[in-house]
């Protein structure tokens, strides 16, 4: 009998050949997408720096400087830490610094992306319809905003600071001269909820970007958590944290086996990795995780509204 390809073997629910620029604009928000899109190799960079509290102007200058350095080393996609431009303070101070997307700061980074011909993922606070979001716009090499990830899960430690929960897990296509891939974003605490990574994987992500602002990376349980997210979803995971003294750095790249293949120390620096998507596809063909052997009809309880707990001051959007 002729051996079936991975696409044929995935089964019901996969839209073979589907391509999207951004699922954020899809009417239903999310859809299962053909997993084989990535190919070739792409060089990705994380700029690890200390985004100091309420030092927006200087943080922007540092980010721009490091983006230029990363591009000079061949990076084609470049990401900052979480809310790197304002230092992640929340409350009234954050509201005073937050901007709409698109806005003046995103326009500035759009010009930089266009000059350098790179994709940029910028951690910042966004004001939208009177609410403040922990956001990361994705900017194309043309300078245009492809879409925005807004942190979906807000913990009890953050709710008093007034952040509004996001509601979507968009996935975008990144196309370069040397390769292409699909990717989504989990902003910090989103990674603690396993459904975040699984939703991104089901939408065809080859890479999950994970911007942080915390001291977790040196704690074994959190390193194991990220290793597991990469391993169980058969994808690359790219985590970028703030450097000391804001946090403790240790930005990391994880391969689909959950191995840490690159790691920085606590100081300012560039996390550079060339990701091989042909190798990823070949491994997925023989894998048993990710899409393999799932039984979605057995998982209805995961979407039961009874299975959630939120603090009394949670700023959830309409509909929860």
The yes-or-no verdict on residue 189 having pLDDT over 80 is: yes
pLDDT of residue 13: 29
The yes-or-no verdict on residue 174 having pLDDT over 90 is: yes
The yes-or-no verdict on residue 314 having pLDDT over 60 is: yes
Q: Is 40 left (phi over 0), alpha (psi -120 to 50) or beta?
A: left
pLDDT of residue 180: 98
**Residue found by looking up tokens 């894998």 in the block:** 287
pLDDT of residue 28: 44
Residues of the chain with pLDDT > 70, as a percent, come to 90
- The overall average pLDDT reported for the chain is 90
pLDDT (tens digit, 9 = 90+) per residue, 89-125? 999 999 999 999 999 999 999 999 999 999 999 999 9
Contacts 24+ apart (CB under 8 A), 294-301: 296/13
pLDDT of residue 29: 60
pLDDT (tens digit, 9 = 90+) per residue, 194-214? 999 999 999 999 999 999 999
pLDDT of residue 319: 78
pLDDT (tens digit, 9 = 90+) per residue, 247-270? 999 999 999 999 999 999 999 999
For the chain, which domains are there? 41-285 (3.60.110.10)
How many CB atoms are located within 10 Å of the residue 46 CB?
A: 31
Contact between 200 and 172 (Cβ < 8 Å): no
Q: Kindly state the helix (H) or strand (E) to which residue 311 belongs, with its residue range.
A: none
The yes-or-no verdict on residue 10 having pLDDT over 50 is: no
Mean pLDDT computed over 170-179: 98
The yes-or-no verdict on residue 82 having pLDDT over 50 is: yes
pLDDT of residue 34: 63
């Amino acid at each position: 009998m002729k051996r079936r390809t991975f696409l044929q073997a995935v089964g019901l629910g996969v839209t073979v050949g589907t391509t999207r620029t951004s699922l954020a604009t899809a009417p239903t928000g999310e859809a299962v997408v053909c997993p084989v899109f990535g190919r070739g190799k792409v060089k990705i960079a994380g700029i690890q720096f200390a985004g100091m509290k309420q030092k927006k102007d200087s943080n922007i200058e540092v980010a721009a400087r490091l983006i230029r350095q990363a591009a000079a080393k061949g990076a084609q996609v470049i990401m900052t830490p979480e809310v790197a431009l304002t230092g992640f303070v929340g409350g009234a101070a954050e509201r005073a610094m937050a901007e709409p997307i698109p806005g003046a700061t995103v326009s500035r980074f759009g010009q930089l992306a266009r000059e350098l011909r790179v994709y940029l993922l910028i951690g910042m606070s966004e004001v939208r319809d009177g609410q403040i979001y922990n956001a990361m716009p994705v900017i194309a090499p043309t300078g245009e905003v492809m879409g925005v990830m807004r942190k979906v899960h807000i913990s009890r430690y953050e709710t008093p600071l007034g952040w509004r929960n996001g509601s979507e897990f968009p996935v975008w296509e990144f196309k370069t001269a040397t390769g292409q891939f699909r990717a989504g974003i989990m902003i910090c605490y989103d990674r603690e909820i396993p459904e975040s990574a699984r939703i991104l994987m089901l939408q065809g992500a080859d890479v999950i970007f994970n911007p942080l602002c915390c001291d977790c990376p040196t704690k074994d349980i959190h390193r194991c958590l990220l290793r597991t997210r990469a391993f169980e979803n058969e994808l690359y995971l790219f985590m970028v944290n703030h450097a000391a003294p804001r946090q403790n750095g240790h930005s990391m790249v994880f391969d689909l086996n959950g191995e840490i293949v690159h790691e920085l120390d606590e100081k300012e620096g560039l996390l550079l990795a060339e990701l091989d998507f042909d190798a990823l596809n070949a491994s997925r063909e023989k894998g048993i995780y990710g899409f393999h052997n799932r039984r979605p009809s057995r998982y209805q309880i995961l979407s039961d509204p009874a299975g959630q707990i939120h603090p009394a001051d949670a700023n959830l959007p309409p509909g929860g």
